[in-house]
Amino acid sequence: MGFNKNVGTEIAVYSFVIGILYAIFGILEILVGWGDLIGTGVSLIPPLELVGVNVVPPDVFGGIMLIIIGAVYLTGVKQQAKGEREGLSFLLVGSLLAAIFFGVYLVIMLANGVGYVFQFEDWLEWIWLDDLRPGIWLFLMALPGTYLAFTKKKWRE
């Protein structure tokens, strides 16, 4: 089955949900980290924690990147919903940006893990949940759409 309006609508809904989630968490990261950026240390909203783990870390620049990734996903929704294959490129580029961001966060997590293993002073109380950022688990949610776009050769014909 080729890429048509029915398939495009499903992909458009998927891209819309992923894009909105990236944008929302990007905005939340900016609001939580704004005080650190301007030097007051007072965030615009309190940090969001779940079971003592920071769900949305204070990271303004990371938040900006999440918003950009979300915008790329959202830009292709209209074309995807019409059944135009050109909309798939936004899904692929958004997934590529998300993969790069995911890789950077994994390298940071690995570096912090090495610091913990070697018992460096700043890493004595580090746990891996401290580095579990929205860019990591949002990418895992984006993987199914990326897989479909890459493996469906009939969609690209």
Question: Nearest 5°: phi and psi at 117?
Answer: -60, -40
Instruction: Provide the pLDDT for residue 40.
Output: 66
Q: What is the pLDDT of residues 116-143, one digit of tens each?
A: 888 887 777 877 777 788 888 899 888 8
Q: Of 4-13, 42-51, 90-99, 125-134, which range is least confident?
A: 42-51
CB contact set of 12 (below 8 Å; sequence gap of 6+) = 76, 77, 78, 80, 81, 87
Q: What is the pLDDT of residues 49-59, one digit of tens each?
A: 666 667 778 88
CA dist 58 and 46 (Å) reads 10
73 torsion bin: left (phi>0), alpha (psi -120 to 50), beta (else): alpha
**The tokens 């992909």 sit on which residue?**
11
**Per-range mean pLDDT, top range of 49-53, 97-101, 112-116, 143-147:** 97-101
Tell me which H or E stretch contains 101: helix 87-117
Q: Taking all residues of the chain, what is their mean pLDDT, rounded to a whole number? A: 83
Instruction: Provide the pLDDT for residue 148.
Output: 75
